[in-house]
Structure 1
Amino acid sequence: MTATTPAAPAALVDHPNGGARRIPVFRAYRFELVKLVSQWRIRLLVLACWIAPALFVVAVSQQTTLPVDTLFGRWMQATGWAGPLVTLGFAGTWALPLLTSVVAGDVFAAEDRLGTWRHLLVTVRSPQRIFAAKVLASLTVILLLVVGLVASSTVGGLVAVGNHPLVGLDDHLMTPGGAAGTVLLAWACVLAPTLALAGIGLLGSVTLGRSPMGLLLPALVALAMQLAQMLPLPAVVRLALPGYAFIAWNGLFTSPAQLGPLLIGIVVSLVWAVTATALAYLLFLRRDFTNLTDDGLTRRALTAGVLPLAGLLAVTIAVLPVVTTATYSGSGIQQAKVEHSLATAFAHLYRMQADELHRPAVTEAQLKSSAACTKGNVDHDAEGAGNDWRCVVSWHLPDSEATGQAIYQLDLTADGRFVADGDGPKEVNGYFLVRTPYGDTPNPLWQFDSNVELLSTSKG
C-alpha cells in the first residue's frame, strides 16, 4: 500500500520567502466566534437574554404585589425605567456570573475535552493569536448577552408602564431623560466587574483544563464575593473586592451622585480583569501541547494563578486606606450618615406626598428636615448594619411654629442600603395608601429605600 500525504491547508501555503503563513488574528477571531455561537447552549443564552427580561418586567409590572425587597422594585408600576434596574440587580447577583462561566470559563477547556489543540495549532501556528482570538470572541459574546439584557428589560418596561419619571435612591425625582441616561450608565458600569469575572473564567479555563471547576470558577468567585458583602467587614475590604461595582452603581441615583465608591469599584475590577487575563496568557504560553496528558491541571499552574490574585487583593486593601477615608476597622455606616440620608430622603418624599394631596408646595430647604437615630440601646456614635435602627424625623412647615415628627424603623444592610418602614403618625406614614381627591394612591412616606455611602470623601 502506498502512503499518501494530505494536501496542506490553504492557510499554511509557504510564503515566497519561506516559512508557513500564519492566519491573521481577525480570521482566527471570526473562526472562534463562529465556534461559540454554533453551540446550542450559547444560542439559548442569547435568545434568553434578548427575550426573558422583557417578559419578566412586563409580568411583574402587572402584578399587585411588587418585589419591594429589590432595589427600585417598588416603582415598577410607576415607571418603565425601574424594570431594567431590577433586572440589573438580579443580573449582577446571578445572571452575569453564570454567563461569564458558560462563555469565558469554557472557551479554552473545550479544546482539552475535544482533544483539538494540535489541530488548532497546526492551522493557526501561533499560540499568541489563538489566545487573542479566543479572548476577543468570548468577550464579544458576553457583550452581546449584556446588551440583550439591558435592551430587553428596557423595552419591556417602557411598553408595559411607560416613559415616566423615576424616583432616585435618595428619593429625588428624576426626569425620564435623566433616568434613561443614568440607567444606561449603570449598565455600562457593571461591565467592569463582568470583565473581571471573565478574566477569572479565562484563567480557570486555561489552568483547570478538562476539570468542570474551570467552568464554575467565575460563578463560585462571584458567590464568595456576595457572601463577603453580607458580612460585617470593614469598608476597605468591600471596596477591594472586584465585585463591589455590582452594587456601587446605585450611587448614580442619588443627588449629588455618590461616585467615589463606584469609581474605586470600576478601577479595582479593571485591574483584576487585566491581571487575570495576563496570568491566563502566560500560563497558556507555557502549555506543552505535544503532551496529550497535559491539560493545564498542575500544582505550579494553580499556584501561579491563585497567589498573584490573592496578592493583588492584599495590595488593594493596603493601598485604599492611604488614598481614601476607608479604614481597617470602620464599617462606613455611622450614625451621622444614617441621619443625613434618612432626612434627605424624607424631604424629597414629603414634597411628593404634598403634591399628591394637593397641599401647598414646599421645598426641602423650607422643610429643614432632620433625623435623630439610635441603634438598639446606643444613642451616640452608633455604627454598623442591623434591623434595630430607630429614627425620629423632624421638619417644619413655612409659617408654622409647630414641629412635625415621624418615626421610622430601619433595616440597614452591610452594604449601606436600608429600608425605612413608617411607624406613625398615621396621617404621615402610618398607612400604605393616602386618600386624594382622585382616589387612594400609594403613600410615598410609608416605606422607602435609601442608602448610606460607605465612602463619603477622598483624601485626594
Structure 2
Amino acid sequence: MTAAITEAPALAPPVTRPAGLSAAFRFELVKLLTQWRIRILLVGCWVGPALLITAVSQQSSLPSDTVFGRWMAATGWAAALVVLGFCCSWVLPLLTALVAGDVFAAEDRLGTWRYLVMAVRSPRRIFAAKSLASTAVILLMELGLAVSSIVGGVAVVGNHDLVGLDGRVIPAGHAAQLVVLAWACVVAASLAYAAVGLLGSVVLGRSPIGLVMPALLAFVLQAAQLLPMPAAVRLALPSQSFLAWRGLFTEPVQSGPLVIGLVVSLAWVVVATTLAYLIFVRRDFADLAYDGPGLRPLLATVLALGAVVAASVAVVATATPSTGSGIEKAKVEQSMATSFAHLYRLQSRELHRPDVTEAQLRTSASCYRAGSHGDDQGPGNDWRCVVTWHIPHATAVGTAVYQLDIAAEGRYVADGDGPQEVNGYFQVHTPTGDAPNPVWQVDGLVDLSSRSSSKGRS
C-alpha cells in the first residue's frame, strides 16, 4: 500500500497596507508628546502664566514699562495682556523652534527614515502627518498660555474693567472678548514661525541650526523693529501680528495693521510650507548619509523668502496711505488728546467730581519734537505735548504738559510734567484715600497705517 503524498498549496505572502494619514498623524503626535522636553513645555504653558501673575501681584512694583503693565493690579484682563506681550517677544518663537524645528531633522540623526517610509509608503503623507502633529502641539501650548493667563489673572486680580490704549474704559465683558481675540490673532504669526521651523528642519538635515531657525528669525525681526524704517516695511514683516493685537484696544479699532499682519503671516505659512514640501518629497530616503539637499535648495529658499518680503512691502506701500515712519505730528496730537480726555473723566470719577463728556471738555493737544526744526515726525523720546481742555461751567482753560517716548512700532508712554494737581504726581487724594492717578502716565498707540488728520482733538 502506497501513501499518496500531496504538496500543500503555497501560501500567499501577507499583504500589508500602508499607514493612512490619520494613523500617521496619531503616530507622529504620540512621538512628540512622549518627548520629555515637549511634556515640560506643555506643563509650563498651562501652569506658568498663572504662577507668574500670582508672583507679580505680590510685588510692590508693577512692570509699568510693558503694555498694560501699569493696570496689572487693577484687572485680571490687563495681567493676561502683559503675559501675551511677553509671549510674543520670545516665548512663542522659542516654542515653535523646539517643536517644529526638529520634527524632520530628528529622523536624520536617528537614521529612522527607511522604517518610516516602509510603514507609510508615501513621503507626502509623512510630510502632512509631521506638519499637522507639530502644529497641533504648538496650538495646544498656545491654548495653555491663553487659558492659564486669563484664568490666573481673573482669579488673582479680578474681573474688572480695563483701560484701553486710548484711555477708554472697556467694560469687563467686552474686555474678555477682546483679550480672547488678541490671543487668537497671534496664532497666524506663530504658524509663520512654525513653517520656518519646518523649512529649516527639512533644508538643513542633521544640522542643529534648523532647530533655532524660528528663534533666529525672531531675533532678527526684534532687532529690525528697533531700526528706523518706513512704515510699509515695518508692517510687512511676519512679526507684525505679534504687535498689531494692541490695536484692538483703541476706539476705533486700528484694524489696518492687524489685517496686514494676518495676511503677511499667512503668506509666510504658505510659501515656507510649500518650499519645505517640495524639497522633502524629492529627497533620497535610501541614502543613510543624507545631510540636507545641498546649496542650491538652500539658496532657493533664501531667495523665495526674500521675494515674499519684497512683495509684501510693495503691496503694503500701495495699499496704505501712510508714508515715512507713520508717526506724524497730527497723529500724535489726536491720539494724545483722545487719551487724555478719557482718562480725565476717569480721574473725575475717582475724585467724585461731576461727570463731564468729551464734547464738553473739547480737549486738544499741541505736540512737537525738541530740536526737530519743524520736522515733527518719527519715533523718539524727545516729543513734548501740551494738552488743553475747557472746564465745564467755567471760563478757565486747563493745561497739562507731557513728555513722550514713542517707539518705532507706534506705542508711546507719556509722562506727566505738571501741573502737580493734574498729572504731576502718581497718586491722587480721593475721599476714600489715595488712588493711582490715571493721567500721571498715559499709554497710547499711533496707527502707522492710517492717514494723518489735521487736528489733534478728541
Range class of TM-score, shorter chain: over 0.9
Q: Please list the CA deviations of residues 207-261 of structure 1 after superposition, one character each: whole Å capped at 9, or x if unmatched.
A: 0111111000000001111111111111011111111110011000001110011
Structure 2 partner of 1:412: 406
Structure 2 partner of 1:352: 346
Residue 62 (structure 1) shift: 2.3
Question: For residues 441-452 of structure 1, what are the structure 2 equivalents within 5 Å?
Answer: 441-452=435-446
**Amino acid in structure 2 at the alignment position of 1:43:** R
Which secondary structure state, in structure 1, belongs to the residue aligned with residue 327 of structure 2?
Answer: coil
Question: For residues 402-441 of structure 1, what are the structure 2 equivalents within 5 Å?
Answer: 402-441=396-435
Alignment partners' CA distance in 1, 2:248 and 2:271 = 27
The two structures have a TM-score, normalised by structure 2, of 0.94
Question: For residues 157-176 of structure 1, what are the structure 2 equivalents within 5 Å?
Answer: 157-176=153-172
Residue 379 (structure 1) shift: 6.1
Q: Is the 8 A contact 1:28 1:133 kept in 2?
A: yes
Q: Is the 8 A contact 1:260 1:457 kept in 2?
A: no
Residue 392 (structure 1) shift: 0.3
Structure 2 partner of 1:84: 80
Q: Is the 8 A contact 2:322 2:450 kept in 1?
A: no
**Aligned: 1:228 with 2:224:** yes
Alignment partners' CA distance in 1, 2:329 and 2:179 = 30
Alignment partners' CA distance in 2, 1:13 and 1:285 = 28
Residue 300 (structure 1) shift: 1.5
Structure 2 partner of 1:291: 287
| Counterpart among 204, 207, 216 of residue 203 in structure 2 | 207
Which secondary structure state, in structure 1, belongs to the residue aligned with residue 395 of structure 2?
Answer: coil
The two structures have a TM-score, normalised by structure 1, of 0.94
Structure 2 partner of 1:268: 264
Q: Please list the CA deviations of residues 85-105 of structure 1 after superposition, one character each: whole Å capped at 9, or x if unmatched.
A: 011101110100000000000
Residue 147 (structure 1) shift: 0.4
Residue 380 (structure 1) shift: 3.7
| Counterpart among 61, 64, 67 of residue 63 in structure 2 | 67
Residue 326 (structure 1) shift: 3.6
Structure 2 partner of 1:6: none
CA gap 1:162/1:314 in 2 versus in 1, 3 angstroms: same
Question: For residues 28-107 of structure 1, what are the structure 2 equivalents within 5 Å?
Answer: 28-107=24-103
Alignment partners' CA distance in 2, 1:341 and 1:259 = 16
| Counterpart among 107, 111, 116 of residue 112 in structure 2 | 116
Alignment partners' CA distance in 1, 2:266 and 2:396 = 53
**Amino acid in structure 1 at the alignment position of 2:436:** P
Which secondary structure state, in structure 1, belongs to the residue aligned with residue 444 of structure 2?
Answer: strand
Runs of 4+ aligned structure 1 residues displaced above 6 Å come to none
Alignment partners' CA distance in 1, 2:283 and 2:156 = 53
Structure 2 partner of 1:250: 246
Structure 2 partner of 1:315: 311
- Equivalent pairs: percent with the same residue? 62
Structure 2 partner of 1:455: 449
Alignment partners' CA distance in 2, 1:280 and 1:220 = 18
Which secondary structure state, in structure 1, belongs to the residue aligned with residue 400 of structure 2?
Answer: strand
Which secondary structure state, in structure 1, belongs to the residue aligned with residue 76 of structure 2?
Answer: coil
Residue 197 (structure 1) shift: 0.2
Give structure 2 stretches of 5+ with no counterpart. 1-12, 453-458
Alignment partners' CA distance in 1, 2:372 and 2:97 = 45
Indicate the RMSD between aligned Cα atoms, in angstroms: 1.2
**Aligned: 1:195 with 2:191:** yes
Question: For residues 350-429 of structure 1, what are the structure 2 equivalents within 5 Å?
Answer: 350-378=344-372, 380-429=374-423
Q: Please list the CA deviations of residues 325-361 of structure 1 after superposition, one character each: whole Å capped at 9, or x if unmatched.
A: 144xx00000000011000000000000000001110
Which secondary structure state, in structure 2, belongs to the residue aligned with residue 159 of structure 1?
Answer: helix
**Amino acid in structure 1 at the alignment position of 2:392:** P
Give structure 1 stretches of 5+ with no counterpart. 1-11, 15-19
**Amino acid in structure 2 at the alignment position of 1:109:** A
Residue 204 (structure 1) shift: 0.2
Q: Is the 8 A contact 2:127 2:277 kept in 1?
A: yes
Alignment partners' CA distance in 1, 2:316 and 2:113 = 42
Q: Is the 8 A contact 1:374 1:382 kept in 2?
A: yes
Alignment partners' CA distance in 1, 2:364 and 2:69 = 27
Residue 21 (structure 1) shift: 2.1
Alignment partners' CA distance in 2, 1:409 and 1:444 = 16
Q: Please list the CA deviations of residues 367-410 of structure 1 after superposition, one character each: whole Å capped at 9, or x if unmatched.
A: 11010011012364400000000110000022111110000000
Residue 13 (structure 1) shift: 4.8
Q: Please list the CA deviations of residues 63-109 of structure 1 after superposition, one character each: whole Å capped at 9, or x if unmatched.
A: 21000000001111100101110111011101000000000001001
Alignment partners' CA distance in 2, 1:364 and 1:230 = 35
Q: Is the 8 A contact 1:81 1:154 kept in 2?
A: yes
Which secondary structure state, in structure 2, belongs to the residue aligned with residue 81 of structure 1?
Answer: helix
Q: Is the 8 A contact 1:334 1:381 kept in 2?
A: no
**Amino acid in structure 1 at the alignment position of 2:439:** L
Determine which structure has more spread, i.e. the larger CA radius of gyration: 2
